[in-house]
Structure 1
Amino acid sequence: MHRLLLSIAPVALVVASPAWAQERTSPDIRDDQRAAVARIIDEGTSQSQVMPIVQHMTDVIGPRLTNSPQMRQAEDWAEQKFREMGLTNVRREGFEFGRGWSIERSSVRMLAPRPLQLTAIPIAWTPATDGTLSAPIVVAPMSDPDHFARWRGQLRGKIVLISQPGTGEDQTDPLFHRLTGEELSALDRYQEPVNDPEQRRRSATRGTFEAERLAFLAAEGAVAFVRMSYRDGKQLHGEGYLHQAGRTAPIPGVELAAEDYRRLTRLAASGTVPTLEITSDVRFDDTNTQAYNILADIAGSSGTGEYVMAGAHYDSWVAGDGATDNAAGSAVVMEAARIIRALGVRPRRTIRFTLWNGEEQGLFGSINYIDRHLASRPAGPAGETGLQRYLAEATRFPVTPKPGFRDLAAYFNIDNGSGRIRGIHAEGNVQAMPTLSEWLSPFRAMGATEVAIARTGGTDHQLMAAIGLPAFQFIQDPLEYDTLTHHSGSDTFDHLRAADLRQGAVVLAGLLWQAANADAPLPRSPLPRQPVVTDPFATPTPED
């Protein structure tokens, strides 16, 4: 999930508790629906396969970087599993993405002033070293193109440390956390949309700076670059975004543990310039630049073409095994498919299960699905990167629905780690809230209680909700997601919670079944229009 890419607007207004929220203890669910939900609960608790599914994704396949050899293996395996479960129309939908990339082995050592093995990882989609390279460092923090002039003529033959080291922060928040009732209630607050062209301009600039910085380093003769991990505790991440053919980083790059990085900068500041040795044995794969979403159906009986859908992103970063982000959500989606298929009863509407690809680089998979099946927006500028498109997509008007726009009756997304489902974000869809509350009511004793009006983003439901579709993200207990596992080397099977994943699969299957058999599709939000500027009197931010 892209927590680093999205900034949620400040809370603006508390919505008063409506009458329906006070009557949720006696929802109107038909007897046949209750019987099906009871069977779903039994199947998902007594016969669960969610942990074997997620264990194969993590321990056996491992990290699933988009278009990497591991992701190709994961795509084959997911298709096979869906077929074994008895799903139909199992298929791949491809879209242009770019190069495959994987790590064979890597090492970073300090040679002087003393030998020391450092904690490091190659940055995704940076090139290999030619064997082992060694060179002195130069500490040259650069976070804006205006900083280049400060270092011109000083980088040739050097390994350049590009991050500002800082001093570290006290970790005052608990490492592991479950949501309290008060925290859940606080999510039910309306967020007024903000249209700020100046903020969009700054975001677009950030989307191009990394390539500009690397071009400058290469032109100045740097032999490699090093950035600092954004977490202390020897954590590593390795995210990189230059995956498109022809845009690969021109020099090798590694991410260094924050503690090791600061040691190097202290040594340099004291007059003892360290020498580093870097071995980065990484491989590019250009045999197929298409990435693929995996889709599978449980066919409905109505013949109307309507369907409900569940999805999770299948891709991950490479420092860990992509367990909580997002093998957990992918396994819950697959287990929900198995549970519903085990009922042996055909739903009214088709139920579609989707494993998205390329989410971590800018929601590539779900954007492609929208373009292909649901609606179009005006194209961006030529040469636009995935991150640039993600940041700008919801600001391009008009939205033009496609013939399949009305067929999607509901979409449920899961991508917040392995924590227990505590409710659902209604994404500003006020009309859908009573029905969502009714559908959650059988799972209140399992902890799934809250229907919150607030929008959330950074994952694959976001741009569906942004065109008015009934698309929702679950509220989950954070556990260690934000504090430890998100995109990090700690994102392994050990940090999954089996009881929480079983509960998540049951809740997801229950909502899908009820949505597939409801008398009417969920209400939609209005089709969005070009908004006026929220603050027409704002003073532009001066350039740094």
Structure 2
Amino acid sequence: MPVPPGSQLSNWQVSHPGGSRIIPTIIRRRSRAALLAAVISLPLAAQAAPTDDRIARIADEGYAHSKVMMTAHELMDGIGGRLTNSPGLHRAQDWAEAKFRNWGLSNIHREEFLFGPGWEIRSSYARMIEPRPIEMTAIPVAWTPATEGAIRAPIVVAPMSKPEHFAEWRGKLSGKIVLVDLPGTGDEPNRAPFRRLDSNAIAERDTYEQPDYDPDAGEERMERNADREELLRLSAADGALAIARKSYRDGKLLHGSGYTHWPDKAAPLPIVEIAAEDYRRLTRLAKTGPAPVIEINNDVRFVNDDVMAENLFAEIPGSDPDAGYVMAGAHFDSWIAGDGAVDNGAGSVAVMEAARILKSLGIRPKRTIRFALWSGEEQGLHGSLAYVRRHLADKPALDDPQADHDTWTTRWPLTKKPGYDDLKAYFNIDNGSGKLRGIHAEGNLGAIPILKDWTAPFASMGIERVVAGDTSGTDHVYMQAVGIPAYQFVQDPLDYGSRLHHTSIDTLDHMKADDMRQMSVVLAGMLWQAANDERELPKPPFPTEPSPRDPFAYDDPDEG
């Protein structure tokens, strides 16, 4: 993820003991007439969604008859990584569509959006040749060109992050493999790499965050993109053979994330990411001299036959065509170094399992329940933004597709689409495979009482509370940005942020089966209640251009 865009995480939570609704024991002794009067007199927030046996049936199917880990095995072990618009993601989408059809879901379809070519790694290696042979841990960076065979050359350590840095290195890069990052000194962990949340950590999220609007954020993002592109162009023009960057995590972890996916925006040079430990060895040797000679071979290919990526949808139709729909989603795409298990195969198979559970019970909701498997999340929430722009609300478009995407949040005015009012609630999962512990109200304070009602049945499964705070970096963000009630769950982090997010060890080994079953049951139960409750979650005011958070701020020439 950037997240997201990858970066990143949440769930609905209820405070306890006490929960959100308590009917005193003494009520049970009252006459039926008195009991009816007491129930009628309860405040609206206490009159929750259906109190029939559906939640118990959902729990039984999701725990005693779970298919979530077998589904996860088929996706992660059988198909693997799913870079946006790559052959791997296309295989996964075909597989998921077949699953939805076999389970009997309806209106299974895909929707396209402009993204850019696909890309995949066939094979690669990197090794140090001099002063001694060492096999290095490395990976090609996504959407960068192949080396067209092995490249063997001395390195030059030329730290550059802005075009103005290039002047120092002009004329010194020809015939070299250029290391562009400073080596640093290591990032030894200072906290436990595997964590579960305690009640205090969850409660810390129950804080309303004031809006923080920067009208220049979109332009600054475009400037950073332009700086990176210009540095690559200048390096190529100076005769550099390839670029090498340092992995941003220690422990021989790799990522390979790259963002030059837009049509006609391909990087002009091969780029390789080298494990931090190997990278630092190279820089130490270069500092004391002579410069090491390394060899890299990036056998990669672009898939240029289609620049349109796709989102995948399926539904359980509602009984009331005028009642609108509720939706759950997760991003189906991943990065390239691992199998995309916790980011975000976990959320994806939980959404699929929730669909299977609800459909298998043969129960029909009042509102349609829609399931979304997004694409393009890791490069900037492309898929979910495309859905928002097509179905919910949009802003004036720009001719340059990259600028159109990167500045969307800071362009105004926002205009509703005809389907805006049909979407009643959206639930997103994208924070690994940890147990759901609550849900972020995302600053929508009016929604908290209803969310407490919907999460109350799952207190014994670990759901603790609804928190007011918001989250960012994943596919509910643009729905929130247009005023849709869209939420991310609070989750136990486990080792998601410490070593799995976007890395080469993001495999099924690190998915916790008990947590995955709980996640699927809670999501299915939340969807069922949202689809049948007579109440609707209140929408925030329809957005207009906000005031800047700091109206007196000056631009910092050293930033950006």
Aligned residue among 413, 435, 439 for 1:424: 439
2:390 maps to 372
C-alpha change, 1:18 and 1:128, in structure 2 (3 Å) is closer
1:2 maps to 2
Greater RCO, 1 or 2 (C-alpha within 8 Å, sep 6+): 2
Alignment map for 1:267-282 (pairs within 5 Å): 267-282=285-300
1:535 deviates by 1.8
Supply the distance in 2 between the matched residues of 1:198 and 1:337 (Cα, whole angstroms).
Answer: 41
Count residues in correspondence: 533
1:60 deviates by 0.4
2:486 pairs with 1:471 = yes
Supply the distance in 2 between the matched residues of 1:111 and 1:187 (Cα, whole angstroms).
Answer: 51
Letter in 1 for 2:351: V
Does structure 2 retain, via aligned residues, the 8 Å contact 1:98–1:290?
yes
Alignment map for 1:27-426 (pairs within 5 Å): 28=46, 32-197=50-215, 200-304=218-322, 306-380=324-398, 382-385=399-402, 391-426=406-441
C-alpha change, 1:31 and 1:455, in structure 2 (3 Å) is closer
CA offsets 1:346-398 (integer angstroms, 9 cap, x no match): 11000000000011011111011011111111224x3242xx65553322221
CA offsets 1:214-249 (integer angstroms, 9 cap, x no match): 111111110101000000010000000111221111
1:303 deviates by 1.3
Does structure 2 retain, via aligned residues, the 8 Å contact 1:88–1:296?
yes
**Bigger mean CA offset, 24-33 vs 441-450:** 24-33
Question: 1:403 aligns to what SS in structure 2?
Answer: coil
2:511 pairs with 1:496 = yes
Alignment map for 1:452-531 (pairs within 5 Å): 452-531=467-546
Supply the distance in 2 between the matched residues of 1:20 and 1:537 (Cα, whole angstroms).
Answer: 46
Does structure 2 retain, via aligned residues, the 8 Å contact 1:25–1:441?
no
Question: 2:391 aligns to what SS in structure 1?
Answer: helix
CA offsets 1:63-105 (integer angstroms, 9 cap, x no match): 0001111111011001100001110110111111111111111
Question: 2:419 aligns to what SS in structure 1?
Answer: helix
Letter in 2 for 1:451: V
Does structure 1 retain, via aligned residues, the 8 Å contact 2:311–2:374?
yes
2:548 pairs with 1:533 = yes
Supply the distance in 1 between the matched residues of 2:393 and 2:49 (Cα, whole angstroms).
Answer: 37
Does structure 2 retain, via aligned residues, the 8 Å contact 1:307–1:407?
yes
1:14 maps to none
C-alpha change, 1:253 and 1:277, in structure 2 (3 Å) is same
Does structure 2 retain, via aligned residues, the 8 Å contact 1:161–1:226?
yes
Does structure 2 retain, via aligned residues, the 8 Å contact 1:136–1:275?
yes
Supply the distance in 2 between the matched residues of 1:101 and 1:202 (Cα, whole angstroms).
Answer: 27
**Bigger mean CA offset, 114-123 vs 164-173:** 164-173
Supply the distance in 2 between the matched residues of 1:442 and 1:357 (Cα, whole angstroms).
Answer: 32
Supply the distance in 1 between the matched residues of 2:346 and 2:243 (Cα, whole angstroms).
Answer: 33
Supply the distance in 2 between the matched residues of 1:407 and 1:292 (Cα, whole angstroms).
Answer: 22
1:318 deviates by 0.8
Does structure 2 retain, via aligned residues, the 8 Å contact 1:411–1:461?
yes
Supply the distance in 2 between the matched residues of 1:18 and 1:253 (Cα, whole angstroms).
Answer: 49
Question: 1:189 aligns to what SS in structure 2?
Answer: coil
Does structure 2 retain, via aligned residues, the 8 Å contact 1:308–1:516?
yes
Question: 2:2 aligns to what SS in structure 1?
Answer: coil
1:11 maps to none
Does structure 1 retain, via aligned residues, the 8 Å contact 2:436–2:462?
yes
1:7 deviates by 9.5
Does structure 2 retain, via aligned residues, the 8 Å contact 1:6–1:457?
no
Question: 1:297 aligns to what SS in structure 2?
Answer: strand
Supply the distance in 2 between the matched residues of 1:242 and 1:271 (Cα, whole angstroms).
Answer: 34
Letter in 2 for 1:264: L
Does structure 1 retain, via aligned residues, the 8 Å contact 2:5–2:379?
no
Letter in 2 for 1:69: P
Supply the distance in 2 between the matched residues of 1:201 and 1:31 (Cα, whole angstroms).
Answer: 45
Question: 2:127 aligns to what SS in structure 1?
Answer: strand
Supply the distance in 1 between the matched residues of 2:261 and 2:546 (Cα, whole angstroms).
Answer: 33
C-alpha change, 1:4 and 1:304, in structure 2 (3 Å) is closer
Does structure 1 retain, via aligned residues, the 8 Å contact 2:439–2:466?
yes
**Bigger mean CA offset, 309-318 vs 20-29:** 20-29
2:41 maps to none
Letter in 2 for 1:340: L
2:457 maps to 442
| Structure-1-length-normalised TM-score | 0.94
Does structure 2 retain, via aligned residues, the 8 Å contact 1:58–1:492?
yes
Supply the distance in 1 between the matched residues of 2:356 and 2:505 (Cα, whole angstroms).
Answer: 29
Question: Whose radius of gyration is greater, 1 or 2?
Answer: 2
1:25 deviates by 4.8
Letter in 2 for 1:535: D
Letter in 2 for 1:222: A
Supply the distance in 2 between the matched residues of 1:285 and 1:6 (Cα, whole angstroms).
Answer: 23
Supply the distance in 2 between the matched residues of 1:24 and 1:485 (Cα, whole angstroms).
Answer: 38
Supply the distance in 2 between the matched residues of 1:6 and 1:175 (Cα, whole angstroms).
Answer: 19
Does structure 1 retain, via aligned residues, the 8 Å contact 2:5–2:474?
no
CA offsets 1:139-196 (integer angstroms, 9 cap, x no match): 0010111101111111011100011111112311111000010000000001111223
Supply the distance in 2 between the matched residues of 1:268 and 1:31 (Cα, whole angstroms).
Answer: 67
1:504 deviates by 0.4
C-alpha change, 1:363 and 1:112, in structure 2 (3 Å) is same
Letter in 2 for 1:72: H
2:31 maps to none
CA offsets 1:244-275 (integer angstroms, 9 cap, x no match): 22111111110000010010000000012100
Supply the distance in 2 between the matched residues of 1:63 and 1:456 (Cα, whole angstroms).
Answer: 26
1:521 deviates by 2.0
1:329 deviates by 0.3
CA offsets 1:468-500 (integer angstroms, 9 cap, x no match): 111001110000000010000010000000000
1:126 deviates by 0.7
Letter in 2 for 1:2: P
Letter in 2 for 1:353: F
Question: 1:33 aligns to what SS in structure 2?
Answer: coil
